[in-house]
Amino acid sequence: MEIAQLILEYIKVLIWPLFAFACLVLFRSSITGLFPRLKNAELPGGVKFDFQEAIEQAQQLKKEILAAPKQAEAHPKVSTLIKQTEANARMIDLGLQPSPSGLDLGYYRALIDQDPNIGLAGLRMELEILGRNLAKGFNIPLSAGDSSAMSIFRKLLDSGAITSLQFQLLKKIIELCNAAIHGQRVTKEQAESILDTMKFLADDYIAWLSWGFPRK
């Protein structure tokens, strides 16, 4: 009786590993075919790109932007920049939409710790809000057709509010976030790398808020 019970316990422990191994053997070709899908994201409209390669391209764009010669700035000079903790109060004061994170990227790091895809979805929302605020601050009219972040940033580019390299970087980050929203598997390290490309853009945005716009 004890031997029969012992055998039964072994069967109960081993049944699922044996079942999984059998599936792996029987459906090996089908399972192997799934791996490219994990690596290559597909956006709505059939646009495909290699997710990790897109991250590396975003990192390279960041380096090019930081290394590019600074253009003469036409905005008013300010003696001190506002603090990051004052960003939302400043945006409200200017009649702009406040940031979900208060421009604190630590907010998205915490989300990424819980779920990388959710963290990138939140970052995508943040970018659209900041784009709309920039358009309003630069007096760039947005039409009903400007419902996407990319259409907003395209208008900012055409109006000279952002540079071509900044536009390319923002486009790449939005593509990565969109892929995450549409089911691309994202690791914590990949999501944090995408977030890191945003830091200097957030710093530039805080500097823009410090220009001394008239109070609303």
Note the helical H segments in 94-163.
106-114, 116-137, 149-158
Other C-beta atoms closer than 10 Å to the C-beta of 205 total 18
Whether 180 maps to a domain, the answer reads yes
Whether 12 maps to a domain, the answer reads no
| Domains held by the chain: number | 1
Residue 161 confidence (pLDDT) above 50: yes
Helix (H, G, I), strand (E, B) or coil at 43: strand
Whether 29 maps to a domain, the answer reads no
Whether 188 maps to a domain, the answer reads yes
CA distance 41 to 175: 9
Angle of CA points 119, 158, 170, to nearest 5°: 20
Residue 42 pLDDT: 54
CA distance 177 to 123: 7
8 A C-beta contact, residue 104 and residue 125: no
Mean pLDDT of 161-186: 92
- E strands, the chain, are 40-43, 47-50
| Confidence tier at 38 by pLDDT (50, 70, 90) | very low
CA distances from 22 to 12, 29, 98 (A): 16, 13, 54
Percent of the chain clearing pLDDT 90 (strictly above): 43
CA distance 96 to 144: 18
8 A C-beta contact, residue 194 and residue 176: yes
Residue predicted with more confidence, 72 or 96: 96
Whether 158 maps to a domain, the answer reads yes
CA distance 40 to 63: 24
Residue type, 139: N
Lowest mean pLDDT among 32-36, 106-110, 138-142, 169-173: 32-36
**What is the domain range of residue 186?**
34-70+80-209
| Confidence tier at 34 by pLDDT (50, 70, 90) | very low
User: Over the range 157-173, which residues count as b (16 or more CB within 10 Å of their CB) and which as e?
Assistant: beeebbeeebbbbbbbb
Whether 216 maps to a domain, the answer reads no
Whether 170 maps to a domain, the answer reads yes
Lowest mean pLDDT among 31-35, 40-44, 130-134: 31-35
- pLDDT by residue (tens digit) across 97-148? 898 888 888 999 999 999 999 999 999 989 999 999 999 999 999 887 777 8
Residue 132 pLDDT: 93
Residue predicted with more confidence, 59 or 200: 59
- pLDDT by residue (tens digit) across 6-27? 455 444 444 444 444 444 445 4
Residue 212 confidence (pLDDT) above 60: yes
Residue 81 confidence (pLDDT) above 80: no
- The CA radius of gyration of the chain, in Å to the nearest whole number, is 24
The pLDDT mean for the chain works out to 78
Residue 17 pLDDT: 43
Whether 3 maps to a domain, the answer reads no
Residue 181 confidence (pLDDT) above 60: yes
